[in-house]
Homo-oligomer: A and B are copies of this chain.
Amino acid sequence: MNEITPFRLLVPREEAVRIILESVRPIERTETIPIERAVNRVLARDIIASIDVPPFDRAAMDGYAVRAEDTYGASEFNPKVLRLISVLRAGESTDKEVGSGECIRIATGCPIPSGANAVVMAEFAEESNDGHSVLIYKAVHPLENISPRGEDIKRGEIILKEGEILTPAKIGALAALGLRRVPVYQRPRVAVIPTGMEIRELGFELAEGQVYDVNSYTLSSLLTENGAAVTRAPIIPDTHDDLKRALYRFLDHDLIVFSGGSSVGEHDMLADIIREEGTLLFHGVQIKPGKPTLFGVVRGKPVLGMPGYPASCLSNAYVFLVPVVRKMARLPQKKPTIVKAKMAKRFVSSSGREQFLTVRIIDGKAYPAFKKSGDITSLSKADGYIILPVNLDVIEEGEEVAVILFE
């Protein structure tokens, strides 16, 4: 029989993932971006506080700034009387000093006037009608209701560490220091190269034998969601010369992804090019769908060849591409969300490979959504997938299965 099948380096899935992950490193390049665009980006260096936050002792409550000792013994039935010498509204401060027997009305957040060392909450005080004096109904101890300078963040303190992902709360910590721009790691630059004579750009009429480019759009969306900066290349005819030219043209990227032709010969071509120009690390993975996936390194750059069939391509992207891009982007690997369901009908696998079976979950039952590896609706109508081990051929109706959800 013909030796057309070229899968000489067929590897198990875990081995393939391991090989890819070991071949790439997190991006070292950094950039400084406006804080408005920094959410979910990865901090490129430790942030050391340049100021105290709060930058001054401030009132933690609306009330009256006092000398604590003037309030000792005060109670609801035995109020102390203090002279009101000033009023601080939000955003105001004063040079006046609170002397013995005096107080200043103060809004939350205002700097504590000199002389005062505590704040009596407004609820426990009562101003006279003429506004000249205040009855204090409750004693306060020194520092009560005061947020001391540096209580939140101390100048010189490491407030965020290199490698942290900027959540809204961490964005807040940067803003509290007045930082307008943030040093972050650059996103990995990934080139997605759709290949195939029969592939047509969206929006144009199909000629006989042509189909639309699906893979460059599914891969770009998935990559963008996982922290990559994507260049979607024009469609490349899958000749040896065109593929090789495209490879070198996009070798300035951090990762080159070919979403390949659907036929075996084309995969041989890309494998040959990688072998000639660099190192082919595997060609073919023991999973279904997705046998033709290949991986190698050319001039230090990782090159991934994905199956041409849309459903195979995208499901393999979840398995191989997402982990590698997240590693490069310094994002933590996603923990899959798994739900239990009962198989809605008997399913027989005859692949002899590990199989990803897409399913739709309705009322706790898992219905196979997989049609053929060519079928994008196998994925677009699915909620998740089941992994059938190599040695398992049948799932009985009613059997419990673990469904890994998309997202």
Contact = CB atoms under 8 A, between A and B. Distances in A.
Contact of A214 (B38, B176, B222): B176
Contact of A56 (B153, B209, B213): B209
A52 to B, nearest CB: 10
A174 B153 CA distance: 50
A272 interface: no
B212 A406 contact: no
Interface in A120-164: 122-127, 137, 147, 151-153, 159-160
Contacts of A210: 55, 91
Contacts of A153: 376-377
A197 B167 contact: no
A380 interface: yes
29 contacts: A2-B125, A36-B232, A38-B221, A39-B221, A39-B225, A53-B211, A54-B374, A56-B209, A90-B238, A90-B261, A90-B265, A91-B196, A109-B374, A110-B198, A111-B209, A152-B371, A152-B376, A159-B380, A160-B380, A167-B380, A168-B219, A172-B217, A172-B379, A173-B380, A175-B202, A175-B213, A175-B214, A176-B211, A180-B202
Question: Main SS of the interface on chain A?
Answer: loop
Given A212-B177, A262-B108, A263-B62, A1 B39 contact: no
A266 to B, nearest CB: 6
A266 B90 contact: yes
Nearest to A167: B406
A197 B262 contact: no
Given A36-B217, A178-B212, 8 more contacts: A1-B124, A55-B210, A90-B238, A109-B262, A151-B372, A168-B221, A168-B317, A178-B202
Nearest to A195: B90
A60 interface: yes
Contacts of A172: 214-215, 217-218, 310, 314, 376, 379-380
Nearest to A318: B168
Given A5-B123, A151-B372, A382-B169, A202 B179 contact: yes
Interface in A359-385: 371-372, 374-377, 379-380, 382
Interface residues of A, number: 103
Nearest to A315: B169
Nearest to A40: B225
A362 B401 CA distance: 33
A386 interface: no
Contact of A379 (B90, B169, B406): B169
A2 B136 CA distance: 11
Contacts of A89: 197, 263, 265
A171 interface: yes
Contacts of A197: 89-92
